[in-house]
Chain A
């Protein structure tokens, strides 16, 4: 197992290297001059040229790539072109914000999705099955920005239950230590802020979690249906085991194997693809960080941002594979 994990970790190196080359070539191939975008329409040609020289944008991209990789190996992700601040420091709060949101979204998605899937399978063709599968269908096809705006309208504006944007009560903030505000507010002993932080997480959490929730529900349902038809379940039933135990103890374990894969993939996707949710809920996450960087042609940030996301993505995949092996010992790790 350990050897397998290490081998998988080593395989990350070529993956990330290839990734960096692709990203680097693509962002340099898209038109648009960073100097122009940064300085705005108002800058003179001289200052644009000066900026290009300073940023090394006049060099061929292969050379730029070489310099970038050299710095990367010494742990330096470079400076943002736009804010001129070191990316390593700058990225951390964004990453933490996204991580917090993703974890909450996935908790919601997994809890609701798995349970809905199980119940739908258990009560196949019941009204509950039809309803939850209809909701799941709406869920996957719902535009996130629309869902987000509706949530804000209903829960923030009309009902006034939940805040519509941001991460905490900004009037009286807690000090950011880990940038995960749930943890930060507990560290500071600020239970009032912990409560507002949780409330701030709910609406974006649902918006972001809706699609994975729907996918997980459908996946769980079909996987459960398959397992329920298998012999060992029939045996368990024949033994007169209570339905609840048959479903939650015997069937679930096997049905979850493909679901785990889906959960892993979805988590990875949420980490990088939360731009819309982050925009609507003014959530300062990594998706918006990279998106802003793209519109400013902030090459070092785009490059580093995507690499970090890719890194997390492959790590999650690794964890999924390891979990897989644990859930089903028949799966041999080669």
Chain B
């Protein structure tokens, strides 16, 4: 009798355990994977889409958007959504940073480079049914331009407008006026060479003035633009749902009915979700996981054109890194190919210059410092340190993964070993990200640091001036590198509107930077994405966000 009871109790235990373990044992018919009837935990799709091709795209990414009013955000996760909802006057050609017409069909630049006249596309409507016209463009730009605008809501600041077109006391743009219903004129205070590149940035998407006036503070959560998809719902940190804009001005676009963008923070968990058919496309594939995707016939990989640079910077405020020879010596001590094989799964190219080769004015005649430890020791001896250094230098290694630096600590350890071979001892430190940025910007604690840059607008100015001009010490010039000759060249390039002459100036600038070696440029990485094999028409943009208007399932 007692035996029987204990068996019964064990049964209860077993049942309770198995309840926990497999109450999800749904019938397998609903769980087909990889095909059109994708499931989310076993729920079959509505019949019509299951029968024909799939028309809902589910994208998985690492983080949520901060807000959906493009003018107040600065993060890439927000602009990814913005690209679908809003359009800019000009756009970048698919997969490149070349400027092409969008909401403006044509433009004219005056000879002095001070007046830009845009002819707008006709018959375009915002998602709320109101007309897109010159007044709408003026409304948007004046909203960002006028520091006292009544449509600048509490807590908002138009950071990208300020950073691309100057702060209120030093604006590039003087005024924006509507010449007629479909013509807008921009008058500048001073010529700005990358002006058209800037106008094409997703952060300057044209929003519906009526919606802004009506929704006020709520606009950043309920955006209205002219883009191929319309906003439907936002569950914070979970998903954003967009639906097709039936009145989109481009015939036949978009091809999808619905897009759902989900936040799945962990890269491995996101890949699992892709493999399980819960999402169709994922951002941020770990280079190490590339083989999983390549060995799975249901999946395909995508690469984003390289538009970034990952680098090791020297803190020129600290001895001995104020010495050019020491910096050059360390440049010789890095085997970039080996780093790329080990930490980027081969998905990167070695960086020679501080900007990626796709940009205007890239100088491909510059030779990189070859990997040569003997040469490095020689240079150190010339600098007066034949036996290296007694002191242990602080090497700041990035605590967070970035497309240009998937694993900062490991790369730093590899470099540490190389540097030690020429007598440069380092101690790796990796404080938390906010602290890291703060410290490297002040330049008090670190000797050597690691950082990178993702291009904003497809202009070399956005790399060379932003990162290495003496004006940007205290913001993005973490090396505290100042060279007057370079400053003159970069300033001249900013004012030059002839693109050939600009390219020439940037080539000169790269020669100076190479010689001074404030950095060891490491890599231009190609960020990896993965998607279902039957996903077509998706072209990743170098800028980090692109429209899904052409995407469809086969």
Contact = CB atoms under 8 A, between A and B. Distances in A.
| A and B co-occur in one complex | yes
B434 A152 contact: no
B67 A83 contact: yes
Contacts of B264: 165-166, 282
Interface string A164-193: 111111111100100000000000000011
A196 B42 contact: yes
B16 A115 contact: yes
B221 interface: yes
Contact of A161 (B25, B58, B74): B25
Interface string A67-107: 00000000000010111110000100110010000000000
A97 B235 CA distance: 11
User: What's the dominant secondary structure at chain A's contact region?
Assistant: helix
B264 to A, nearest CB: 4
A85 B474 CA distance: 30
A244 B236 contact: no
Interface string A129-152: 000000000000000010011001
Given A50-B157, A85-B221, A164 B278 contact: yes
Contact of B269 (A32, A36, A192, A280): A280
Contact of B40 (A46, A85, A128, A163): A163
Contacts of B42: 163, 195-196, 199
Contacts of A192: 43
Given A44-B475, A199-B41, A160 B6 contact: no
A82 B236 CA distance: 13
Contact of A41 (B63, B278, B476): B476
A119 B163 contact: no
B441 interface: yes
Contacts of B10: 119, 128
A168 B56 CA distance: 16
Contact of B167 (A47, A83, A123, A166): A47
Given A43-B163, A44-B162, A289-B237, A196 B40 contact: yes
Contacts of A32: 432, 434-435, 437-438
B40 A33 contact: no
Given A171-B40, A202-B23, A284-B263, A46 B235 contact: no
Between B24, B41, B159, B238, the greatest number of chain A beta carbons within 10 A of the residue's beta carbon is seen for B41
B434 A36 contact: yes
A150 B276 CA distance: 14
Interface stretch (B26-34, B304-312, B357-365): B26-34
A4 interface: no
A229 interface: no
Contact of A84 (B2, B28, B67): B67
A81 to B, nearest CB: 8
A118 B67 CA distance: 51
Nearest to A200: B41
Contact of A31 (B25, B41, B435, B451): B435
A46 B464 CA distance: 20
Interface string B256-284: 00101011111011101101101000000
A262 interface: no
B22 interface: yes
Contacts of A164: 269, 272-273, 276, 278
B237 A165 contact: no
A13 interface: no
B51 interface: no
A79 B66 CA distance: 13
A295 B41 contact: no
A41 B453 CA distance: 9
Given A31-B434, A160-B276, A284-B235, A82 B24 contact: no
Nearest to B33: A160
Contacts of B221: 85
A51 B476 CA distance: 18
Contacts of A280: 266, 269
Given A169-B40, A196-B40, A200-B41, A41 B437 contact: yes
A271 interface: no
B233 interface: yes
A216 B538 CA distance: 51
B8 to A, nearest CB: 9
Nearest to A296: B434
B435 A112 contact: no
Interface string A31-49: 1110011111111111100
B31 A31 contact: no
A256 interface: no
A244 B6 CA distance: 9
Contacts of B319: none
B338 interface: no
Contacts of B236: 83, 90, 93-94, 284
Nearest to B56: A171
Nearest to A81: B155
A176 to B, nearest CB: 7
B72 interface: yes
Contact of A165 (B17, B22, B25, B278): B278
B237 A94 contact: yes
Given A90-B236, A157-B275, A284-B263, A46 B41 contact: no
Contacts of A82: 66
B94 interface: no
Interface in B72-105: 72, 74-75
Given A36-B441, A37-B437, A279-B265, A172 B235 contact: no
A270 interface: no
Nearest to A41: B476
B241 interface: yes
A281 B60 CA distance: 12
Contacts of A163: 40-42, 276, 278
Contact of A44 (B16, B163, B278): B163
B272 A36 contact: no
Contact of A111 (B16, B21, B28, B476): B16
A183 B155 CA distance: 35
Nearest to B437: A36
Contacts of B235: 93, 176, 284
Interface of A: 30-33, 36-47, 50-51, 54-55, 79, 81-85, 90, 93-94, 97, 108, 111-112, 115-116, 119, 122-123, 128, 145, 148-149, 152-153, 155-157, 160-173, 176, 192-193, 195-196, 198-200, 202, 206, 242-244, 279-282, 284, 288-289, 292, 295-297
21 contacts: A30-B435, A39-B74, A42-B466, A46-B162, A90-B236, A115-B12, A122-B6, A152-B272, A164-B276, A170-B58, A171-B56, A172-B43, A195-B42, A199-B26, A199-B42, A242-B5, A243-B2, A281-B269, A282-B238, A284-B238, A295-B433
Closest 8 CB pairs of A and B: A32-B434, A163-B41, A284-B237, A162-B24, A282-B264, A46-B167, A169-B40, A284-B238
Given A85-B67, A156-B278, 8 more contacts: A36-B437, A155-B22, A160-B276, A165-B269, A165-B272, A199-B41, A202-B20, A282-B266
Interface of B: 2, 5-6, 9-10, 12-13, 16-17, 20-26, 28, 31, 33, 40-43, 45-46, 56, 58, 63, 66-67, 72, 74-75, 154-157, 159, 162-163, 167, 220-221, 233, 235-239, 241, 258, 260, 262-266, 268-270, 272-273, 275-276, 278, 432-435, 437-439, 441, 451, 453, 456, 466, 474-476
